Structures are given as C-alpha cells and as structure tokens.
A and B are shown apart, each in its own frame.
Chain A
Amino acid sequence: MISFTQGRFVKMRWMAAVLLVLSMVVMAGCGGNSASTNKQSANTAKIGVPAYLSGAGAAYGEAIRQGLELAQSEINAKGKIKIELIFEDTKGQKNEAINAVNKLINKDNVVAIIGPTLSGEMFAAGPIASQAGVVIMGTSTTAEGITEVGDYVFRNALPESLAIPNTVKKATAKYNLKKVAVMYSNNNDWAVSGYKTFMQSLKQNGVEVLTVETFADKDTDFSAQLTKIASLNPDAVMVSSLYQEASLILKKARELGIKVPFVGNNGFNSPQLMKIAGAAAEGAIVSSPWYPGKDDAKVQAFIKAYQAKYNKAPDQFAAQSYDALYIMVNALEKAGSTTDRKKLRDNLAQIKGFQGVTGKFAFDEKRNPAMEATVLIVKNGQFTELK
C-alpha cells in the first residue's frame, strides 16, 4: 500500500496543498480585521490589541473590542492625538498570544499593547513585550502576580486578590455561610489562581469547605460534580471559571435542585451569564469595579453612547477597556510623543486621580490598579447591588 509512483505522489501533495490553502483562506477570513490603510501622521499612536475574539470566551474579546473602538472614535473626534488600533485574535491560547504580541511589536511597530484577554495569555506574552520595552496593559487580567512578570506590564483590571475576599466577606455576612462547596476550572491559570484566593478568604472567614470539584475549560457536562455537591447540602457554591462554564454549571445546578447562592470570580461579570443560564442565573454573586446603576454622569453618558453604537448594554470588560484607552492617551499626552515607548511607560506609571467609568483610578507602585469594587447579585436578570 505504501508504494506509489512519483507522479502519484506529486498529485497527492498537490491535493493536500490545495486543501491547506483553502482552509487557510477561511481561517484568514475569520481574523482578517487587522489590516488598516490609515495614513500615518506624526500624532497618530499605533496600539496593538491581542484579544480573545473567537472561541468559548469570545464575548469577553468582543466587549473589549467594542469598548476600545468607542473610546477610539471619541478620542479621534477630539483630534489632539489620533489612535490607530490593530486587533489580533488570540483565540484564548497562549501560543497565539505570543505570536500576536511578537507581530505587533516587530512588524506593526506599535507604541503600546492593550491586552491580551486572559491572565494565562498575559503570563506567556507579558515577558516578551517587557523585554522588548513595550508597554503591555491588561484590561481583564485579574490573576495574582500579573504585573510581576515585567516592568512594562500594567493592568487596569481589578486583581482577584482584592475582588474575591470582598465578595466572600459580604456573602458570608449576608447569607450566614457555614459550609460551602468550591468548583474551579483546573486547566486555566487564572481560574486556579481564583480558586486559591477563594480558599484563603473562606479560611479567613471561618467557612468550612465541604468539597472541591474541578472541571476543564470547554467542558459541557457537570452533572457528576453537581450531583455530588447536591448530596452534601452546602450553604453556597463558590465557582472560579469563565462565563461559558459558569452558566452551564448554574443551569445544571438549578436542574438538580441546588437552590443556594453561587459566588463567582471575575468570569461571572458578563451579561452572557444571564443570557445563557436564563432564570438559573438568579442569585449569582460577584464583585465588579463596573456598576451600571451608578449615579454618575460619566457612567450614564458611556452607557448611552455604547447603547447607541452597539445596541446593547456595556459590560465590565467594555467599561474597563474603554477606560484603558483613555488612560493610555492620558500618558501619551504627558509623554509628548506617540512613538517613544520608554517615555510612555514612565508617564503611565505616574497616572493618578484619573476619573473613568469604573471610578477613580490610580496605578500603585507595582503597576496594579487602586480602585474600589461593588458586590453585585443577579436579580430579575440584572446585576444589582448586594446590600
């Protein structure tokens, strides 16, 4: 069977090549949004955005992209500094994030990078940008130790080491939690970090952990874990995962008759949670720096502009990326250059007292944000403040 003539071999290779080219064309079509023919001028700053635009967490990437594009159109309309955004799809994968960052730095010659979306991607791509001396700022990278991977790594995402203890403390007091179950995705760096923070703050609050159950990103069947949890009768369930798995967990849990509150990490912070889980999302609790019900002119104006442009309500990821671009522009203006990467870094580190839609913002000495979070609970399909 293995013997074939030279001619046949060539034809077979040709066929394989055609197939390969065909599939590449389609794939390229999916990510083909980075080409830009804007004319380069002296006051145009090129900013690269590696984001999770396709795959199970694509709603995060889409929100980030929309938040950035809204801020971009506002900033460009003012005309002082023009922003050119170059998007790259990382598909939520580390190797794709590394490729995207390398391309943005070396080929597109960007002055700074906003992204990538997942903490795991940042752990992989952050050191590369830092070594090249390019600012890389995460808007959704909440795991512990993100900014420790390099001096050029920033984030305006509220670290989970602040958010989770906040949520756990409030939920424990409110629902008088004594014993809980914990679930987390064990193949996602950020979810594992969230799980560790959960365990720590549960211990501090004197709450007993009945069982720890794991699953993997992209799993769809959680019946075995949840049947086990149901038999243990916990007062609440803590979940560290992305919205996709979290919503399916909520759905299955309610089906199996688990009616207790579910306390989540940052993955819960998406309207997708309510969209996928429907009524099952009621009673989900999470901390967020973004609270759309805030009585603040800036917040309400942002919601209105976002609604008008995209015909949907902004989520936390859109709000944080919207703020991120303004923070970046603020630093660019102070630096007085749209190409000097080192000056941008030094001025960015100095940002203090910035007023964004996610509240008052400053970088601490470790380039983490100093900001406040509100504890939210899903009620009637909406995030409302947990009081």
Chain B
Amino acid sequence: MFWQQVVNGLTLGSTYALIALGYTLIFGVLGIVNMAHGEVFMFGAFVGLLLVTTFQLNIFVAILGAMIVGCLLGVILEQAALRPLRRRSVSHLAPLISTIGVSIFLESLALRIFGPQAQAFPASVAGQLLSIGPLKISSVQILILAVSFGLMLILRFWLQKTRIGKSLRATAENIETANLLGVNTNKIIVMTVALASGLGAVAGVLVGLAFNAVEPTMGVTMGFKGLAVLIMGGLGNVTGAMFGGIILGIAEVFSVAYGSSSYRDAVAFGIIIIILLWRPQGLFGAQKGGH
C-alpha cells in the first residue's frame, strides 16, 4: 500500500506542479499573479476533449491542439488584460483584477459553450492499467509524470542556455534595462504569457485524462492549489514549482493514507505554513528586493 500511495502522491503532485509552472513563469517575468490561469487550464481540457471526441483525433494531436489554443488564449489575455495596464504603469493590483475579470469571462463562456455537465474522455483514450508487482499505474499517470518532469527540464535548459531564454531572464530582472539593451521586451512578454498558457492547457488535458471530470469550474480549485505551490516553491522559480507541487501532492495523499482524510487540506496547508515560517521566500526562492 505504501508504494501505491507514493505513486498516487506523485501523480497528484505532478499535476499541481504542471499548473504551478504556468503561474511561476508569468510571475517571474511580469511580477503578476495571473488569476485567469486556472480557466485557461480548463479551456485546454475542453479543447482536448473536443478534438478527441468530435474530431476523433489521436490524443497526442489533441494535446498539441490544446497547447496551440492555450497559446492563442495567452496572446489574447496579454493584449486585452495586461498590455493596456502595463503601458500606463498602474499599481500591481490592477492586472490582478483584470485577470480575475478574464477568468470569470472564460468560465462563463465555457458554461455557455460546453454546458455545466462534467464530461470524461472515452475509456479507449484514458489508457489501460499496468500492474508492476503490487503497484497499479495507469499509462496516463506515467504520461503526466513524464510530461511534467520533461517540461521542467526543457524549461530550465531553455531559460539558462538559449538566447531567447536569456532575454526572458533579462526582462524578468528589469524591463526598462532590458529594453535599453535591445531586447524586444513586448515580444518576450507576449511569448511568456503564451507559453505559460500553452503549458496550462496541456495540464488541463492531462488532468482531464487522469481524473475523468472536465467541467467549467475545474480550474478554480486547481488554480488555488497552483497558487499555493507557487508561494511554497518560491515566487517565479521553476524548480520550486516542480518540487512544491510534488510535496503538496504527497502531503495530501499521505495525510489520507496514515491519518484521517478530513484533515487532508489542513495537513497539506499546515506544511506550507511551516515551510514559509522557515523560509519566507519559499523553498527555492532567492532573497531579493522584491517587485
């Protein structure tokens, strides 16, 4: 039972991590908490579902399709809710509120288009169960683990080694200085938001596959868990988001397995509070002046 619960915790944790990655990218560059991320995640799940059921496409094509739609949503989000406010250099709370607006808009839109019913991926896509000794792992769980760790490694490499990654980090450091140094910061920012939203949409499809419940409000709870992970891992830190997600997932599962399920969230968030008391900047967060 112990190892099965470890597997359960890792699966749950990596879905949290996938969502937190999107939050952390945008926070790292713009210093903004994107409240619409959970709803982009939900939209991605619906697009994936639609591609698989209505258009009868392969699941990997559907994930790609969801990613493209997610990126487009990210571009629209940036143009509609973030850029106009950035030009005016208003308070940091303004984009927070405008993204909340976008999130309500997207949730209502999904309610209108897709209906309130929870929908599931067809059983043929959801993959079969593999038995490894006493362990039962579904192929979706393996896929989620692989995709989230893979994306984390790619992101890290990309941010550290490539030219665009360097421009992105320069923009994160200071937008005006990066501008003076010849970085097209507007382009970098659009790209970051698009990338984060694309990741969110992929996470949506994977979570939809794993838990079989795609519905317009699914982004809300997952979004809050992602926010908790963002804070625990260290704002704007990719590795932190990854490990923060896994820690939260494992903590939740183990408080059910060896404690009482009623205390699940209390234990999980208790751990977050303790971590923050010990390291206020988050697990992997660097101590800097703040935004």
Measuring CB to CB, which residues of chain A are less than 8 angstroms from any residue of chain B?
A: 1-2, 4, 8-9, 11-12, 15-16, 19-20, 22-23, 26-27, 29-30, 53-56, 58-59, 186, 213-215, 218, 220-221, 223-225, 227-228, 230-231, 244, 248, 251, 255-257, 272, 276, 278
Closest to B131 in A: A257
B180 within 8 Å of A (CB atoms): no
- Complex Cα distance, B252 from A225, in Å, reads 11
Q: Residue A22 contacts which of B92, B97, B105, B262 (CB distance < 8 angstroms)?
A: B105
Most-contacted residue by chain B among A53, A55, A257 (CB, 10 A): A55
Further contacts, 12 of them, CB under 8 A, given A4-B89, A19-B102, A22-B105: A1-B91, A1-B92, A4-B90, A12-B88, A16-B98, A26-B108, A58-B116, A214-B262, A225-B256, A227-B1, A255-B129, A278-B123
Q: Do A248 and B211 form a contact, CB below 8 Å, given A27-B108, A56-B217, A218-B221?
A: yes
Interface presence of B109 (CB below 8 A) = yes
User: In the assembled complex, which residues on chain A have CB atoms less than 8 Å from the CB atom of B118?
Assistant: 56, 244, 276
- A248 with B212: CB separation less than 8 A: yes
- A257 to B1, alpha carbons, bound, how many Å? 13
- C-alpha gap A4/B94 in the complex (Å): 12
Contact B91 A4 (CB under 8 A): yes
CB–CB B136/A256 < 8 A:
yes
Residue among B94, B116, B217, B257 having the largest count of chain A Cβ atoms under 10 Å? B116
CB-CB contacts below 8 Å: B4-20 with A: 4-5, 8-9, 11-12
User: Please, which residue of chain B has its CB at the minimum distance from the CB of A218?
Assistant: B221
| Assembly CA distance A82 to B215 (angstroms) | 37
Do residues B108 and A15 form an inter-chain contact, with CB atoms below 8 A? no
User: Given that A26-B109, A186-B262 are contacting pairs, would A255 and B136 also be in contact in the complex, using a CB cutoff of 8 Å?
Assistant: yes
A328 to chain B, nearest CB (A): 27
B205-259 contacts to A (CB < 8 Å): 207, 210-213, 215, 217-218, 221, 252-254, 256-257
CB-CB < 8 A to B102: which residues of A? Answer: 19
Interface of A is mostly: helix
Chain B interface size, under 10 / 10 to 19 / 20 to 34 / 35 or more:
35 or more
B256 touches A228 (CB 8 A): yes
A40 to B12, CA, bound (A): 56
- Are B257's CB and A1's CB within 8 A? no
Given A1-B89, A4-B91, A54-B111, CB of A19 within 8 Å of CB of B98 = yes
Q: What are 21 contact pairs spanning A and B, CB under 8 A?
A: A4-B88, A4-B89, A4-B91, A12-B85, A16-B98, A16-B101, A19-B102, A22-B101, A22-B105, A23-B108, A27-B104, A56-B217, A58-B115, A220-B211, A220-B218, A221-B211, A223-B11, A228-B5, A230-B1, A244-B118, A278-B123
> Complex: how many Å from CA A192 to CA B218?
23
A276 to B84, CA, bound (A): 43
Please, how many angstroms separate the alpha-carbon atoms of A257 and B134 in the complex?
11
Question: Would you call B261 an interface residue if the criterion is a C-beta within 8 Å of the partner chain's C-beta atoms?
Answer: yes
Interface centre among A55, A221, A272 (most CB of B within 10 A): A221
Question: Measured between C-beta atoms, what is the minimum distance from A249 to chain B in Å?
Answer: 11
Do B261 and A213 touch across chains, with their CB atoms under 8 A apart? Answer: yes
Interface of B is mostly: helix
Q: Is A20 within 8 A of B5, CB to CB?
A: no
9 nearest CB pairs, A to B: A19-B101, A220-B211, A58-B116, A224-B256, A26-B108, A54-B116, A223-B8, A224-B253, A23-B104
**Chain A minimum-CB-distance residue to B253:** A224
> How far, in whole Å, are A186 and B257 apart by their CA atoms in the complex?
17
Q: How far is the CA of A16 from the CA of B9 in the complex (A)?
A: 40
Given contacts A1-B89, A223-B11, contact A29 B261 (CB under 8 A): no
Q: For the complex, what is the distance from the CA of A128 to the CA of B252, rounded to whole Å?
A: 39
A23→B120 contact, CB < 8 A:
no
Interface members, chain B 78-99 (any A CB < 8 Å): 81, 84-85, 88-92, 94, 97-98
In the bound complex, residues from chain B placing their C-beta under 8 Å from that of A244 are 118, 213
A231 to B118, CA, bound (A): 30
B119 to chain A, nearest CB (A): 9
- Which residue on chain B has the smallest CB distance to residue A256? B136
Nearest Cβ in chain A — how far from B23, in angstroms? 20
Q: Is B287 part of the binding interface, using a Cβ–Cβ cutoff of 8 Å?
A: no
A221 touches B212 (CB 8 A): no
B1 partner, pick from A23, A26, A231, A278, beta carbons under 8 A:
A231
B5 CB contacts on chain A under 8 angstroms: 224, 227-228
Does B217 lie within 8 Å of A218, measured CB to CB? Answer: yes
Chain A residue contacts of B254, Cβ below 8 A? 224
Min C-beta distance of B277 to chain A, whole Å: 26
Q: Complex: how many Å from CA A58 to CA B216? A: 12
Cα distance, A23 to B36, chains bound together (Å): 13
Q: B112 near A: Cβ within 8 Å?
A: yes
Q: Are B108 and A30 in contact (CB under 8 A)?
A: yes
Tell me if B56 counts as interface (CB < 8 A to partner A).
no
A residues in contact with B108, CB < 8 Å: 23, 26-27, 29-30
Contacts of B186 in A (CB 8 A): none
Residues in B with CB closer than 8 Å to A56 are 116, 118, 215, 217
Q: Smallest Cβ distance from B125 to chain A, in angstroms?
A: 13
Residues on the B chain within 8 Å of A15, using CB: 84-85, 98
Residue B138, interface by CB 8 Å: yes
Assembly CA distance A341 to B116 (angstroms): 34
Tell me, rounded to whole Å, the shortest Cβ–Cβ distance linking B144 to chain A. 12
Instruction: Chain B residues near A1: list those with CB within 8 A.
Output: 89, 91-92
Q: Select which of A9, A55, A224 is within 8 A of B261 by beta carbon.
A: A224
Determine whether B117 belongs to the interface, using a CB cutoff of 8 Å to chain A: yes
- Whole-angstrom distance between the alpha carbons of A224 and B258 in the complex? 10
B205 nearest CB across to chain A (Å): 14
Smallest Cβ-Cβ distance to A220: which chain B residue: B211
* Minimum C-beta distance from B247 to chain A (A): 15
Bound state CA distance, A19 and B84, in angstroms? 13
Given the complex, which residues of A lie within 8 Å of B210, measured CB to CB?
A: 221
In whole angstroms, how far apart are the Cα atoms of A255 and B136 in the complex?
Answer: 8
CB <8 Å contact, B112 and A30: yes
Minimum C-beta distance from B48 to chain A (A): 16
B120 CB → nearest A CB, Å = 6
Residues of B within 8 A of A8 (CB): 88, 90
Task: Tell me the bound Cα distance from A8 to B120 in angstroms.
Answer: 46
